[in-house]
Amino acid sequence: MTEETDRSPLGEESSVVFFKNASKARKHEVDYFQRLMDSLPVAIYTTDAAGLVTYYNDAAAALWGARPKLGETKFCGSWKLYRSDGTPISHAECPMAISLRENRSVRDIEVIIERPDGSRVRCLPFPTPLRDASGELRGAINLIVDVSDRYRAELYAQQLACIVESSHDAIVSKDLDGVIKSWNRGAEVLFGYKSDEAIGRSVTILIPWDRLDEETTILDRVRAGVRVETYETVRRRKDGTRVDVSLTVSPVRDMDGRIVGASKIARDISHRKQAEEQQRLIVGEMRHRIKNSLATVQAIASQTLRSTSAEERKAFIGRLHALSRAHDLLNVEVWDGTALSEIVAMALQAFEDTHRQRFIVDGPRDLRLEANKAVLLVMTLHELATNAVKYGALSNHDGTVEISWSVVPDSQSSARFKMCWQERGGPPVRTPERQGFGSQLLVRAFQGGDALRRMEFNPEGFVCELEMTGARV
């Protein structure tokens, strides 16, 4: 046998081994085989028995990031090589060198190729010896598969599995029939079942009998590809006790995008529920005591103010009622804040029977006000409405009161809002000679972070503009 050179499609000298006296048909077969390897998208190269590279295709050059010199480069065209753990490998110890030295195929050795530009590719090489008819080693062929994407996918899957297993939340997967397929440590702690006790069983082992319809609804939504957003419910432990949980359910899809099951995340909220119940009892007791105190104050005031006019007694009692209504807003669910629209409605409740149609209220309904500011605002609006009935727009049959509010634009705090009380259509307004209780309340209460921006006794109607903190959307 002899070796002749032929120009490869890569534009380099590539050696093709064939019999010197081979027929033209045989040469045609060799050319066809080389063109076939040139066209493959997978990296392929060959060496002679000494390990010198005799051929490589475009895919191999792309993988290496370089084009080695045929007949000079030994064992492979990689710039640098590393084992899968990152330790360096000399070219003399690469899989191709082992295959030639030991005259055997080498499999299942993963390597990392570093290109001249510093980028790295994780690969699986498949070096295989080439022998002639007598069995003598003539060289080797190597097919290199880029497994970088597979490695990244496996790494991501391992990371995800670690996150799931270490999560304190119960994370469970099930198929479309509701059969449990996976069960993490958090699920063991929350529900009391070990993984081998739960996997393969129906998820209904966790659902109280009076809530089994939830599972039917969940599976219907999962089959439709709809995520079940977090909601609060009750589940059952292995010992039969119930536990309050927040539950989120998401569809699980296979590689083709078909829905094959669902993942559930359950979080134990029993401690929070117990705290809320305790808070509810405390707030209820506090409200009860506040009302009793206000009732006592009202009884004492009625006895003490017997010598005052009926109008003054009525005004005082009205203020006590307004304060009581303000505390009615602050139940356990909204102790941390109340919708501004509800505060306005509560403040005007005492005037609705006779003046309901004469209040024009406008403002964002999703704006909420913290508890301590809610009481102040109810008292303020009650005083403004009382004065409007006695002297202002509500003292005749035609006047109206416009109440509007909005977030203060371009303020340093997004928690600031302003409210405007505008009276129209009432009798001509004059500046009072002395400050009444309502005016004194406004001046004294709106200090610090809150402000009385404007209080004008215009002839066409009284105007009061407030600016307050403590709001949120």
Instruction: Please state which of the ranges 22-26, 314-318, 342-346, 418-422 shows the lowest mean pLDDT.
Output: 22-26
Dump pLDDT digits (tens) for 312-361: 666 666 666 666 666 666 554 445 567 888 888 888 887 877 787 899 99
For 269-282, letters b (16+ CB in 10 Å) and e give: beeeeeeeeeeeee
Mean pLDDT (whole number) for 156-164: 76
Dump pLDDT digits (tens) for 168-215: 899 999 999 999 999 999 999 999 999 999 999 999 999 999 999 999
pLDDT tier for residue 127 given thresholds of 50, 70 and 90: very high
Residue 280 has pLDDT above 80, yes or no: no
The third-level CATH classification (topology) of the domain covering 272-472 is Heat Shock Protein 90 (3.30.565)
Write down the domain spans for the chain.
2-149, 167-268, 272-472
Q: Residues with Cβ < 8 Å from 271, sequence gap 6 or more? A: none
Question: What integer best gives the mean pLDDT of the chain?
Answer: 82
pLDDT tier for residue 81 given thresholds of 50, 70 and 90: very high
Homologous superfamily in CATH for domain 2-149: PAS domain (3.30.450.20)
pLDDT tier for residue 163 given thresholds of 50, 70 and 90: confident
Asked if 318 contacts 310 with a C-beta cutoff of 8 angstroms, the reply is: no
Query: Could you give the CA distance from residue 328 to residue 104 in angstroms, rounded to a whole number?
Result: 87
pLDDT of residue 317: 67
Write the single-letter amino acid at 7.
R
pLDDT of residue 16: 41
Render 57-75 in DSSP notation, one character per residue: -HHHHHHHTS-PPTTTSBS
Span 167-268 CATH architecture: 2-Layer Sandwich (3.30)
Pairwise pLDDT comparison (449 vs 343), residue with the higher score: 343
Does the fold of domain 272-472 match that of domain 2-149? no
